[in-house]
Structure 1
Amino acid sequence: MIPHPRRVTLRRLGDDDQDEFLRLVRLSAELHHPWMSLPATPAEFRDFLHRFTDPEAAQSLLVLVRETGAVAGMININGIVRGRFQSASLGYAAFAPTAGRGYMTEGLALVLRHAFERLRLHRLEAQIQPDNHASLKLVRRLGFRYEGVSPELLFIDGAWRDHERWAITSTMAGCTAAPHPTLPTR
């Protein structure tokens, strides 16, 4: 069952977030290396944001601390596929000023609820480099299951990196939303 977080909220990433996002990326460079590379310039931010113009295909959500409004991290729902698949992949990053306080666990719980209840997806996957222990702990805490290793899956930090595949389904999460209308009846 997905927990009901109280300390964070979500909102879509937008144009007005550019300066704050780039500032947080700079402050978090050590935290993210070598696991990921986020936009570091205004041009890269605009290209990144453009990937999320169609919310039926992908969404980028900021995790905000309710009490202060601080951006604790971001979570992307990438590559939404409908029909028989009803699936998407997740990408996420905490930001250094608030890392290690459980905000990403709460934020990802909200994203799972959003994906399963509002978007009515059936399955979400996270691909994680085997040495990224913080990310592995995060998905384990929320009930994802390990499904194997994909060798040389993503090009990160100048090389093709192996990734563990972790997934969770709406059934595993205890969500009972009606199926999306694009799901065939048989």
Structure 2
Amino acid sequence: MSMSDVMLTGYDVLLRHWTEHDAPAMVELFDTPDIAYRTPLPSPFDLAAAQEYLRMIQRTQAGGRRLHFAITVDGRQPRGEVLLNLETSSLGYGLGAAYRGQGLAARAVRLITEHAHRTLAMPRLYAQIEPDNHASIAVAQRVGFQLTDEAPDRVTDKGRTYELLTWVHAA
């Protein structure tokens, strides 16, 4: 079984790989000011950007470098994304605005965290979160991530410079 065949289920979510048919849904989910502000995704995130993102996902998954999952509750309609960088043991997540506040992100992050520890034998997972991203911090804390004492990483992206704090989850 290849990594692209993996589907994860539990906690009332189903994580599945993105397909080319998801491009319009990606636009709906990711073409928002808050996603543009908090993530490295291009803005505007139009259909061409979604198709390029899908090609990048295919390359990194085929190369064994990352796993990108659409967050769903029914296996069909994407509500967000959770990704796992297999080289850095780091993860990221984001939900469409209509799906926030339902515990969906925490359930998806818990599911991929358990998969990383149990199936992929990754002893630690990391998340880098801006200090003022309270929603993302709440998700990390709910799943059991702990803030490290590492110095913040300073990042410049899209003309904005900001700091990222490192959170860790140990198996």
Question: What TM-score does the superposition give when structure 2 sets the normalisation length?
Answer: 0.80
In structure 1, what is the Cα distance between the partners aligned to 2:143 and 2:157?
25
Paired residue for 2:80?
73
Q: Any conservation in 2 of the 1:75–1:93 contact (CA below 8 Å)?
A: yes
> Judging changes above 3 Å, is the alpha-carbon distance between structure 1 residues 44 and 30 closer, same or farther for their aligned structure 2 residues?
closer
Structure number having the greater helix percentage: 2
- Say whether residues 1:116 and 2:117 are aligned partners: yes
> 5+ unaligned residues in a row in structure 1: which ranges?
82-86, 171-186
- Say whether residues 1:10 and 2:11 are aligned partners: no
> 5+ unaligned residues in a row in structure 2: which ranges?
1-8
Give the drift of 1:5.
4.2
Give the drift of 1:15.
1.6
Q: Any conservation in 2 of the 1:51–1:58 contact (CA below 8 Å)?
A: no
Paired residue for 1:21?
26
Give the drift of 1:128.
0.5
Larger Rg: 1
Instruction: Provide the alpha-carbon RMSD of the alignment.
Output: 2.1
Q: Any conservation in 2 of the 1:34–1:156 contact (CA below 8 Å)?
A: no
In structure 2, what is the Cα distance between the partners aligned to 1:13 and 1:23?
14
How many aligned residue pairs are there? Answer: 157
Give the drift of 1:146.
0.8
Q: Following superposition, which runs of at least 4 residues in structure 1 exceed 4 angstroms of deviation?
A: none
- Say whether residues 1:34 and 2:37 are aligned partners: yes
Paired residue for 1:100?
101
Residue identity over aligned pairs, in percent, reads 25
